Each structure stands twice: as C-alpha cells, then as structure tokens.
Amino acid sequence: MKVSIVGASGYGGGELLRLLLQHPHVEVHQCTSERNAGKPVTRLHPNLRKQTKMNFARIAELEEVDCIFVALPHTEAMKRFHQFSVRADRIVDLSADFRLKDPETYKHWYGTDHLLPERLPEFVYGNVELHREEMKTAKYISGAGCNATATILGLWPLFKSGLADSAYPVVAEAKCGSSEGGNRASEASHHPERSGCVRSYKPTGHRHAAEMAQELGTPVHFSATSIEMVRGILVTAHLFVKEGVAEKDIWKTYRQVYGDEPFIRIIKEKQGIYRYPEPKLLSGTNYCDIGFEMDGNRLVVMSAIDNLMKGAAGQAVHAMNVMCGFEETAGLGFAGLHPI
C-alpha cells in the first residue's frame, strides 16, 4: 500500500516517517515540506540516516496514493483538504482541524470559523480504543490531541461503566515534555531558560479540554505543567466514584473495557521501582499505561503516554492499520527502553 506524509518536517511528521519506513504493509511514496523541499529528509530527522535517501517534495508535486497523513500546522488541513482528497481515498490528519464535531465549539476554542463543517461527520476521532468499529469503515481519521488522549484513555472506562460520579468536578493535571511545542525554537524553549523548568504554562484554558468533554461526555478541569522531559506525558486525574464502589470494581471495569487492547497496560504494583505509569519507559512505544489509587470514594488515576507516539504518530498508524484491515500492531511493536 502506498502512503505519503504532508508536513513531514515536524516532530510528528518525522515520527510518522520513522514508523512507516519500517511498516510491513506500507511503502512511503512522498514526504512534503514547503520550507525544506529538495533537501534530504535526514536533514530534519537525523535518526533516519542510513534508513532512507528520500528528499522532501512540495504539496504541489503530490501524486495519487492510497492514504495521506497530514501533519500540518492547525487550519492548514482544513484549507487544503481538497488537494488531499483528490489524491487519496484515505486521510489521517494529525491536526486539530477535524477533532471537534461541533463547529461552534471549534470556533470557541480555536478562534476561527471552521471552513468545512459539512466534512466533520466523515472524520472519526483518533482514539482507536474508543472508535474501533467506526474506523473499520471510515475513510478519514482525525488524530486526537496528546493531552486529550492520555486523559481520555485513563478516565473513559469509569464514565462508560457509570462508576464515576459526575456530580463532582473532574480535575486532570498533565506533566508534559518540551517536544509538545514542535520543532520551532522560541524564547521560552531556549535551553538556558527551558532546562530544569517546572512551568505552569496552561493552568486553565487548554484547548484539549474540549476534546475531553466531547469524548467523556463530561467537562474535565485540565491544567498542564511542562517539566524536565522531551517526550512523554503523565496525567494525574482526580475524581469521585459513586458510593460503595470498591477497588475491585475499578480493576473489573478496566479489565472489561480494555481487556485485550494491545496498547493499554494497567500498572498498579506493590514492588519494583516503576509501580505506577512512567512516561520515560514509553518513549517510542504506542502504549498508554494506566494506574490508580483509591481514598474512600475519591479516586486518583494516572495515565502515561509518549506524546509523539500514542499522542500523535503511533495513534495515527494504529488507526490506519484498523482502517485498512492490517493487524493492529503492525509497525508498532517497539517495546521501549530501560534504563533510559
């Protein structure tokens, strides 16, 4: 199967390229980057040296393929949708353009009118664990936000089963890495300023909260703090469960909802160094690790992912595998490194 990556110079596009170059059922046809057209892809993605001799193409040179991955800055996929839909039956978009089903919600959070509201129902939200059946017949997938993915996957079974008491507020706090900001340098990402930070960069008003509300059916009070980390997210969520719910019920719910999911692991152990989810162990893998602890009927849920993998490129490849009928773990078998 032939695929191309549009906007392949960024961290998300580069991670997609790394996965797709070694994917058993896929051949990467073109990678585009307007700014870097004609340059070798390894100039931006040095880990791919000796893996590929491809050069960046321009969007105008796009040829027909079976699936196009779009990793452009926000609103670009919306503006150029037609250029992609005529060249591939299937599209996986990593941006936020087609995540929110309601155009009004989109306008509220992204400050601009949605250009193709009629297309929104055709896009399936990117968490495979929540939308597998729809993806099997879908043509278009919208990759979910990284913070949203970590929060949604941690909490979804509790809301789906009705254990969570939505009369109480749900608070979720993400500890994030610097790669979330992409590869454009800024004052704030200047090493002497960023190194060693514990920076409350979004105490409130983070856009991903909109996706959490959409997928969980309840508002989530979300805050993000960036820490000394490049890849990785650890979300710590605080909520209440209904009267009489015991720890065993929580285990049962996660087992029922996630039982044989290939990329979810429940991590709640009494020994060893890593007893709860640890993001650094997940670097390069498509895992979401989930742990929890109870305190009366208060529940704390911890979920960890690699924001560039389960939070972006890995999730996109997983969704493509489902959409195209490949085995779900194709190209996503990396186990992660320890120590790291």
Partner 1 sequence: MAECPVCGYEFDLPPNTEEGEIISCEDCGSELEVTGKDSVQEAPAEEEDWGE
DSSP designation for 47: G
By CB under 8 A, residue 44 contacts its own copies: yes
Give the residue, chosen from 37, 266, 294, 330, that forms a contact with partner 1 under the rule CB under 8 A.
266
The item of its own copies, partner 1, none sharing an interface with residue 117, based on CB under 5 to 8 Å by kind, is none
Enumerate residues 159-218 that contact its own copies by CB under 8 A: 179, 183
Give the residue, chosen from 115, 188, 251, 337, that forms a contact with partner 1 under the rule CB under 8 A.
251
In the numeric block, the tokens 């392949």 are attached to 8
Nearest distance, CB of residue 28 and its own copies, angstroms: 13
By CB under 8 A, residue 255 contacts partner 1: yes
The item of partner 1, its own copies, none sharing an interface with residue 74, based on CB under 5 to 8 Å by kind, is none
Cβ-contact 149, 305 below 8 angstroms: yes
Here's the x/- map for partner 1, 137-166, by CB under 8 A: it reads as: ------------------------------
The item of its own copies, partner 1, none sharing an interface with residue 251, based on CB under 5 to 8 Å by kind, is partner 1
The item of partner 1, its own copies, none sharing an interface with residue 274, based on CB under 5 to 8 Å by kind, is its own copies
Residues 333 and 262: their CA atoms lie apart, in Å, by 10
Could you tell me the CA-to-CA distances from 21 to 4, 52, 62, 184 in Å, in that order?
Answer: 11, 8, 18, 24
The item of its own copies, partner 1, none sharing an interface with residue 241, based on CB under 5 to 8 Å by kind, is none
By CB under 8 A, residue 47 contacts its own copies: yes
Residue 15 Cα to chain centre, angstroms: 12
By CB under 8 A, residue 1 contacts partner 1: no
Cβ-contact 174, 235 below 8 angstroms: yes
By CB under 8 A, residue 268 contacts partner 1: yes
The catalytic residue positions are 146
Question: Could you tell me if residue 160 is left (phi over 0), alpha (psi between -120 and 50 degrees) or otherwise beta?
Answer: alpha
Helices (H), 207-324: 208-216, 247-258, 314-324
Nearest distance, CB of residue 158 and partner 1, angstroms: 15
Stretch in the footprint of partner 1 (CB under 8 A) among 8-16, 106-114, 156-164, 267-275: 267-275
Continuous segment of H or E residues that includes residue 130: helix 128-137
Question: Could you tell me if residue 54 is left (phi over 0), alpha (psi between -120 and 50 degrees) or otherwise beta?
Answer: beta
